[in-house]
Amino acid sequence: MFQLPILGQGKNGDAMKEKINQVAEMIAASKRMVVFTGAGISTESGIPDFRGPDGLWTKVDPEDFTIDRFLHSAETRKKVWYLFVEGGSLLDAMPNRAHLAIAELEKMNKLSSIITQNIDNLHQKAGNSPAKVHELHGNMQWLVCLNCDERYPVDDMRRKYPSPDYFPVCEKCSGILKPGVVFFGEMLPPSALRMAERESEKCDLLMVIGSSLVVYPAAYMPLYARQSGAKIVIINMGQTGQDDIADIFINAPAGDAMSGIIDRLRSIV
């Protein structure tokens, strides 16, 4: 059962509740809603964002996540595997209130699809249908052989190869295994990108949750939706690169805002 969060007192609290009510009414009226999520939705699950003060790029060298260095440097591959073995926050995290709220939208038949920049698999863990989740930057749960395309669940490989000093190779052909995520220098998955573009262009409501909307081409999706006449809602802690196109902007934690929206939506549908 979702409970309306404490959103403050006085004018600010009243304004926030009014925005939450408006968003719930927009969802109720929508015939084809798309949710677009970024790293900010997962911080409540203990996953730091990439660019924040405690983000991943403050702990590792982003150059180690370029595809050229990964392919040509065994030492780089070892560093990446160390993150899998020792730093399992991405792999072990559980869905938070915002993820569960989005899964609830699907149960209520109010969700066309999810477009996500995240690689943490938390939408699927929360209960959203994998067919509805379009992952623009891939998924951290798999290792893929670059030679024969064999796929291995990361959890299985972590158990079989627990040493952080050795990045496993393909058990079928001994080819290089790569995390199933988009490295710097790689193209986005064409099929996921096409589906995301199509969903953005066909929706009547696009809700951005936890994205600063500065990473392209992913950040084009709200612009495609706006150009097609859709309404835009942005929920984010702090400003984004597209605040000017938002019909409603909620500056609040994703879990608080989404819990409140679902609670209100239940009362009007």
Cα dihedral sign for 213, 217, 222, 223? positive
**DSSP letter assigned to residue 210:** S
SS3 of the chain: helix, strand, coil, percent, to 5: 45, 15, 40
**Catalytic option among 99, 123, 134, 137:** 137
Cα 197 from Cα 255, distance rounded (Å):
26
Contacts of 112 (CB under 8 A, 6+ apart): 32, 33, 34, 132, 199, 202, 203
Q: How far is CA 113 from CA 11, 105, 196, 217, 257, in A?
A: 34, 10, 9, 18, 19
- Are the beta carbons of 103 and 123 closer than 8 angstroms? yes
Closest CA to 240 of 135, 58, 123, 117: 117
Token pair for 124: 């699927």
Q: Catalytic annotation on 137?
A: yes
Q: How far is CA 191 from CA 135, 183, 188, 194, 197, in A?
A: 10, 17, 9, 5, 10
Question: Annotated active-site positions, please?
Answer: 137
